[in-house]
Amino acid sequence: MAFFQSILLAYDGSNTSKKAAAAAAQIAAVNRSKVEVVHVLERLKPVVTGEPAVYTPPGIDLIQDASQEILEQSFDLFPPEINPRLTLLRGVPGPTIIEHSKQIGADLIVIGHRGLNRMEEMFLGSVGQYVVRHSAMPVLVMKD
């Protein structure tokens, strides 16, 4: 009996997310799992708090194109027999990853963690921490 039939890999192009992709590929190969790789395009934030964010369409297109390129680069990290599905999502990364994992029926989330220092984690938080705290399913966290 295979444990993990559907794996969601949260991917941002960082070294730790590449390690996470390698782990997801190994688990998928052993279990013959489906893999969905997601990259979350975070909503743009205003430069000054309280001010509306104004971005020109070319700027938005460049950001979306870069995000799509990051996502597509993840495909090459998997052997041909895995053939992951690539999905570009929009939203706040932590909650978006959790919600999407439920929608696709994932039974494992694999994510990288950059290892922020205590001050950065206190002020910025961590997507990996959020996912671990809020996920009802197992989460594999790859560290630096």
Confirm whether 41 is domain-assigned: yes
Total tally of structural domains belonging to the chain = 1
d(CA 83, CA 60): 29
% the chain with pLDDT above 90 = 66
Q: Are 63 and 45 in contact (CB under 8 A)?
A: no
- Does residue 1 fall inside a structural domain? no
Report phi then psi at 80, rounded to 5: -55, -30
**Beta-bridge partner residues of 140:** 110
Identify the residue with better confidence: 52 or 75. 75
Check if the beta carbon of residue 4 is closer than 8 Å to that of residue 105: no
Question: Could you tell me which residue, 115 or 114, shows the higher pLDDT?
Answer: 114
Are 10 and 109 in contact by the 8 Å Cβ rule? The answer is yes
Phi/psi for 85 (5° steps) reads -85, 135
* Distance, CA of 72 to CA of 57 (rounded, Å): 22
pLDDT of 114 higher than 80: no
Percent of the chain at pLDDT above 70? 80
For the cut 90, the answer to whether the pLDDT of residue 103 exceeds it is yes
Residue 48 inside a domain? The answer is yes
pTM for the full model? 0.85
The reply to whether 114 falls in a domain is yes
Q: Which pLDDT tens digit goes with each residue over 17-47?
A: 999 999 999 999 999 999 999 999 987 655 5
Mean pLDDT, all residues of the chain: 86
- Say what the pLDDT of residue 112 is: 92
| DSSP reduced 3-state for 113 | strand
Domain assignment present for residue 75? The answer is yes
Predicted confidence band of residue 115 (pLDDT cuts 50, 70, 90): low
Per DSSP, what are the bridge partners of residue 113?
Answer: 143
Predicted confidence at residue 57, as pLDDT, reads: 59
> Containing domain of residue 13, as a range?
6-143
Query: Does the pLDDT at position 106 exceed 80?
Result: yes
Query: Residue 118 falls within a domain, yes or no?
Result: yes
Distance of CA 135 to the CA centre of its chain: 14
pLDDT at 90 over 90: yes
Residue 105 inside a domain? The answer is yes
The domain spanning residue 24 has which CATH number?
Answer: 3.40.50.620
Confidence at residue 38, expressed as pLDDT on a 0 to 100 scale: 98
Q: How confident is the model at residue 126, as a pLDDT?
A: 84
Nearest to 20 by CA among 68, 77, 67: 77
